[in-house]
């Protein structure tokens, strides 16, 4: 297994993994141009895991100048329970730490039991004191 910085050239393989990952929420923000812009704004924070040239894991990590955010942690079902998810998270958190970031957040759909279980079992705490609001900005 090889973990390396995410490249937009791997977009099609990453999208296929995301589309085949239960609980993964995808939107227009996940099209190739949007992901390319995300990677440009967050160099050295996003990673893929591959075996024999095939993407089997991903993590998107962003930084707003104050806090880090994790998105799209996905591991191919055939490769789960090998520590790949933990390794991808570690790489992104390590990269955030080098930027001086002290706290990182992530979002999980309420009905994503698998995802919620992973985060709870790896030491993340669910916040009960905040509510997330969203609004589409501009666009068609």
Q: How many CB atoms lie within 10 A of CB 64?
A: 11
Distance CA 27, CA 83 (A): 28
Global confidence as pTM: 0.92
Domain ranges for the chain, please list them.
Answer: 2-121
Annotation: CATH topology of 2-121: Aminopeptidase (3.40.630)
Residue 139 has what pLDDT? 61
Residue-wise pLDDT tens digits, 8-66? 999 999 999 999 999 999 999 999 999 999 999 999 999 999 999 999 999 999 999 99
Query: Where residue 116 falls among pLDDT bands split at 50, 70, 90?
Result: very high
CA-CA-CA-CA torsion sign (26, 35, 78, 85): negative
Across 105-123, average pLDDT: 94
- Placement of tokens 């990182």 in the chain: 104
**CA proximity to 37, closest of 70, 11, 12, 16:** 11
């Amino acid at each position: 297994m090889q973990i390396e910085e995410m490249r937009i050239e791997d977009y099609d393989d990453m999208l296929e993994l995301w589309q085949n990952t239960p609980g993964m929420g995808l939107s227009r923000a996940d099209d190739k141009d949007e992901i390319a812009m995300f990677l440009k704004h967050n160099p050295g924070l996003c990673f893929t895991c591959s075996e024999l040239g095939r993407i089997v894991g991903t993590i998107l990590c962003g930084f707003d100048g104050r806090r880090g955010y994790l998105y799209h942690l996905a591991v191919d079902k055939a490769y789960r329970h090998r520590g790949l998810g933990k390794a991808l998270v570690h790489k992104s958190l390590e990269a955030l730490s080098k930027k001086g970031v002290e706290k990182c957040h992530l979002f999980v759909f309420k009905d994503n039991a698998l995802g919620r279980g992973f985060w709870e079992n790896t030491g993340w705490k669910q916040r009960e004191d905040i509510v997330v609001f969203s609004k589409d900005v501009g666009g068609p």
